């Protein structure tokens, strides 16, 4: 039976020992941690893990508990929107036929977080009437608390009040996505305009979510490509570059957050002219990885272990 994936996002990106301790708890029940992406500007870390139902249910609960102990949102500052010490906990079926397994894990995790940890839990994605995390993050934690107090929202699990130290937890089920950031050599207004133009909700590319963010003296277009079949990753990068040039700006280095599906690498490699981009195991060749890194504006070469399927082989 194929493993399920989970990609919890925790609101700590500056104290590495805290991130490592939280990641250790996520793996404590036997799940494999495939990647830990730490970002000091976003003040956020993204942990990618795979496992069976029990490994994920128990490990996610332990990791969320450790994040609650180590993170104080009252002292938190970072450019990425958030409402919780563990902000989002997506459960991801890697095979379409595993959707119901993912739903079961998400529901168990949500219930246990509410009952055992005493944190308010909201559901999003395919277990939350299609709502996105942004629906709950709008206005930040103070606004979420107000909406709960005004009976505009009610957490399906956990208490009906939010601890300002730990916040809430958003648990969801979604399809695999690619989180990708692209530095913009321009102004924050340029980055925000590009984000508006490229994201699907504003009439841009299908399956693209985007924000323009300031990172100190740098700016960034931060994206989630939630439908890799609708828009190839390299096509999204190309479009952002064109939009930036139209504003008199240009793109800098790209940044992959977490792992990338093999299809994104292979599509970019084929467009770049790599004739045989697949090895004997069905994974991207070194030539394909290098071509994809160039197409995606990555500062470093794309290592084979950044490809999700590399961890699933055999």
User: Could you give the residue numbers annotated as active site?
Assistant: 80
Query: Cα–Cα distance between 40 and 14 in angstroms, integer?
Result: 5
88 alpha carbon, distance to own chain's centre = 8
Helix (H) or strand (E) holding 295: helix 286-295
Answer yes or no: are the C-beta atoms of 191 and 220 closer than 8 Å: yes
Closest by CA position to 308, among listed 195, 242, 228, 245 = 228
Query: Cα–Cα distance between 159 and 271 in angstroms, integer?
Result: 51
Answer yes or no: are the C-beta atoms of 187 and 208 closer than 8 Å: no
Helix (H) or strand (E) holding 239: helix 233-246
96 alpha carbon, distance to own chain's centre = 19
Query: Cα–Cα distance between 43 and 45 in angstroms, integer?
Result: 7
Question: Quick count: other Cβ atoms within 10 Å of Cβ 303?
Answer: 10
Please report where in the chains the tokens 């941690």 appear, as a residue. Answer: 33
Answer yes or no: are the C-beta atoms of 181 and 214 closer than 8 Å: no
Query: Cα–Cα distance between 125 and 132 in angstroms, integer?
Result: 6
Q: Which phi and psi angles does 44 have, rounded to 5°?
A: -160, 145
Query: Cα–Cα distance between 103 and 93 in angstroms, integer?
Result: 9
Instruction: Give a three-class secondary structure readout of 197-232.
Output: HHCHHHCCCCCEEEEEEEECCEEEEEEEECCCCCCC
- Relative to beta strand 44-51, strand 250-257 is unpaired
């Amino acid at each position: 039976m194929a493993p399920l994936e989970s990609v919890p996002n925790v609101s700590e990106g500056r104290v590495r020992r805290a991130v490592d301790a939280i990641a250790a708890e996520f793996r404590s029940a036997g799940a494999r941690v495939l990647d830990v992406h730490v970002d000091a500007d976003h003040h956020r870390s993204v942990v990618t893990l795979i496992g069976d139902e029990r490994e994920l249910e128990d490990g996610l609960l332990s990791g969320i508990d450790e994040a609650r102990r180590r993170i104080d949102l009252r002292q938190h500052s970072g450019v990425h929107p958030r409402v919780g010490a563990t902000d989002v906990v997506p459960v991801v079926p890697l095979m379409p036929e595993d959707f119901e397994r993912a739903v079961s894990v998400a529901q168990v995790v949500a219930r246990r977080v509410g009952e055992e940890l005493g944190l308010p839990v909201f559901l999003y994605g395919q277990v939350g009437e299609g709502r996105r995390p942004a629906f709950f993050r709008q206005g930040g934690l103070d606004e979420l608390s107000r909406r709960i107090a005004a009976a505009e929202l009610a957490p399906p699990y956990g208490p009906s009040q939010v601890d300002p130290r730990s916040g809430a937890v958003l648990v969801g089920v979604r399809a695999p996505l690619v989180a990708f950031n692209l530095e913009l050599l321009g102004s924050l207004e340029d980055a925000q305009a590009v984000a508006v133009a490229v994201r699907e909700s504003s009439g841009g590319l299908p399956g693209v979510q985007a924000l323009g963010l300031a990172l100190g003296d740098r700016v960034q277009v931060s994206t989630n490509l939630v439908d890799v079949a609708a828009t190839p990753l390299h096509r999204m990068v190309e479009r952002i570059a064109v939009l930036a040039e139209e504003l008199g700006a240009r793109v800098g280095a790209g940044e992959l957050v977490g792992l990338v599906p093999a299809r994104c690498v292979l599509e970019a490699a084929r467009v770049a002219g790599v004739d045989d981009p697949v090895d004997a195991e069905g994974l991207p060749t070194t030539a394909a990885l290098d071509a994809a890194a160039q197409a995606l504006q990555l500062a470093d070469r794309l290592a084979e272990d950044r490809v999700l399927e590399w961890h699933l082989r055999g």
